[in-house]
Amino acid sequence: MEASSHDFVLTGGDRSAVDVVQEALAPRFPVVPAGRPRTVRHTWLDTFDWRLHRAGLTLEQASRAGHSELTLAGPGGGQLAGPAGRLRWPALTGALAPGELRTRLEPVAGIRALLPVARAVSSVRDLRVLNADGKTVAWLRVDETTVTSPAAAQLPPRLTVTAVRGYQAEAQQVAQALASVPGARPGTGQLPDAAPAAPASSTAASDTTKVLTTARVDRIFPSFMIPPFFDIGRGPWPVTRNIGGPREPRHPMGMG
């Protein structure tokens, strides 16, 4: 299977993502399940004073049945991954398994503990895309994610099309068909499409509630679904007063 892929986010609809895919690809490319759906739990971490964010880093823990992994993403898109083991938060970087990820985090977090700043749960299912001969020409992953903290929100479904070796042309046709679906937009393939969004500066906003925006498209809370209900007053971040100006959070809600 080729490593290259095409990523999409489905917005503006209430139909099942699988139904949308099947309709978009029929009748040329039948779609069949490849195994059972699985649940992935996501936790994004930072220090209480958001040192990782200020360094342009995103730290995510993804946990699925019997396995948990930490992924550190940098501003240029590079990533480091390592086992999370049985870590419980908050925890110092010294509790992480020795390795490059821990080495990269230690000078950034210093003596400050890492603690959860956002959580989400994903239902992930893999589908096989077939040609007229019944051969698999591409794999299609459907990821439906619900943010559970700091506020509940349903994210639009995300799709990832990956070509099977030798069928790149067919996979490209699949991607083009999905791109033509109303409400489909390019994604990054990361939860995703993901990093906590940044609160916008606004003199009209109250001290405790601000509309969130995303400085980096397709991180944790994409800009197309940012609701005006996140309560900055509930977060673990401090708030400072600017003389002669509005109150501003010292650190935004994520890696924007």
Q: Identify the CATH number of the domain in which residue 83 sits.
A: 2.40.320
Do the domain assignments include residue 237?
A: no
For residues 131 and 117, the answer to whether their CB atoms sit within 8 Å is no
pLDDT means per 10 residues, the chain with 256 residues, are 75 88 95 95 94 93 92 87 92 95 96 95 97 96 93 91 96 96 82 43 26 30 35 35 33 34
pLDDT of residue 12: 80
Do the domain assignments include residue 124?
A: yes
User: What is the tally of structural domains in the chain?
Assistant: 1
Do the domain assignments include residue 136?
A: yes
Q: State which residues form the domain around 168.
A: 1-181
Do the domain assignments include residue 7?
A: yes
Do the domain assignments include residue 87?
A: yes
pLDDT of residue 33: 96
Do the domain assignments include residue 5?
A: yes
Measure the CA–CA gap between 107 and 175, rounded to whole angstroms: 42
pLDDT of residue 180: 94
- pLDDT of 51-93, one tens digit each? 999 999 999 999 998 899 999 998 877 889 999 988 999 999 9
Measure the CA–CA gap between 223 and 238, rounded to whole angstroms: 24
Do the domain assignments include residue 226?
A: no
For residue 99, what are the CA distances in angstroms to 70, 93, 102, 164, 230? 12, 11, 6, 33, 35
